[in-house]
Amino acid sequence: MKKASLVSFLLLTACVTINIYFPAAATEKVADEIIKGIQESQDIPPQSQHQNAALPEWKVSLFRAIDSGISLIISSAHAEANLSVNSTTIRKIRSSMKSRFPALRTYYIQGVIGINVNGLLSPHGNVPLKARNTVKKLISAENNDRESLYAAIANANGHPEWHAQIKATFSRSWVKHAQSGWWYQDGGRWVQK
């Protein structure tokens, strides 16, 4: 009886800690996809597609088996989470950013806006008076959307504390996807790509 109690006690007190690390690689991939989607002319698909839907059953079964196998091998102690970007809020922000992009591109090309060190937009150089209101409002709306997007992605994945890391990842991706001639800040110094 005493042995049984001891085992029960050990079982109850044995705690498995699962640390979900920030999915850096997945975030980078998501950032690339989202920015590409915004800066390309195609429409954003309403939501991510289940690619396996059109696969033959045997392939689906095979992939599922492989997936289960991988899950067994990966130690739960250092699992890296996937990143979901499928929520109404995220789709809404992406749609808003996508429709704003053609107007932004004009000013990227003119060099009157640039990507600052935080991955947000800033006015660059002397913005012509005629364009000042438009540029100001575009920058404000875009920066609001970018911040909201990072928060929405963090929230959609149940980790609001990832906001800063998501922002930093996106910040690099915005520069990566900047087109030739656009301005960005590198260590606080404006550089033309």
Partner 1 sequence: MPARTSTVKTHLFGQQAFHFTLKVKNQRANFHLSHLKLFGGTINLTLQEKKGHWTAKLQAEKINLQKIHTFLRLKSLESLSGKATLSAQLSGSKLSHLDKAILSAIVTELSAQDISGNLASEALTLHSELKLERQGKNWQWQTQQRLSKGAFYIDPIYLDIEKAQPISLKASGSLDSNNKAITLTSVSLKHKGIAHIDAKALIHYKKTEPILKQADINFYADNLETISSLYLAPFLEGKPIQDLSLQGNLSATLTIENQALHEAHLNFNSLQLSSKQQAISIEQLAGSVYWNHLWENKQDSHLYWQALSIKNIPFTASQLDFSLAEQQLNLLQPAKLALLDGILSIEKFDFNLNAAVESSVTLRARLDKLSLNELSAAMHWENPLSGTLSGYIPSVNYHQKKLTLEGGLKMQLFDGEIRISQLAASGLLTDFSQFYIDLEFENLDLNEVTKKFPIGRIQGRLSGFAHNVYLENWQPISFYAWLGTPDDDDSRHKISHRAVRNIASLGGSSAADVISRGVLSWFDDFGYDRLGIGCYLHQGVCQMTGAAAASQGYYLIKGGGIPSIDIIGFNTRVNWHTLMNRLSRITANNMVVEP
The residues of the shown chain that bind partner 1, judged by CB under 8 A, are 45-50, 53-54, 86, 88, 91-92, 95-96, 99, 123, 127, 129-130, 132-134, 136-138, 141
* Complex with partner 1: residue 83 or 175, whichever CB lies closer: 83
Beta-sheet pairing, 113-115 with 183-186:
parallel
Give the torsion through C-alpha atoms of 41, 47, 53, 54, to 10 deg.
Answer: -10
* Complex with partner 1: residue 3 or 130, whichever CB lies closer: 130
Contact yes or no for 169/96 (Cβ under 8 A): no
Give least dist CB 28 to partner 1, A.
24
Q: How far apart are CA 154 and CA 43, in angstroms?
A: 24
* Complex with partner 1: residue 2 or 50, whichever CB lies closer: 50
Cβ neighbours of residue 93 closer than 8 Å, sequence gap 6 or more: 145, 148, 149, 152
Q: How far apart are CA 26 and CA 24, in angstroms?
A: 6
Give least dist CB 132 to partner 1, A.
5
* Complex with partner 1: residue 48 or 76, whichever CB lies closer: 48
Give least dist CB 44 to partner 1, A.
9
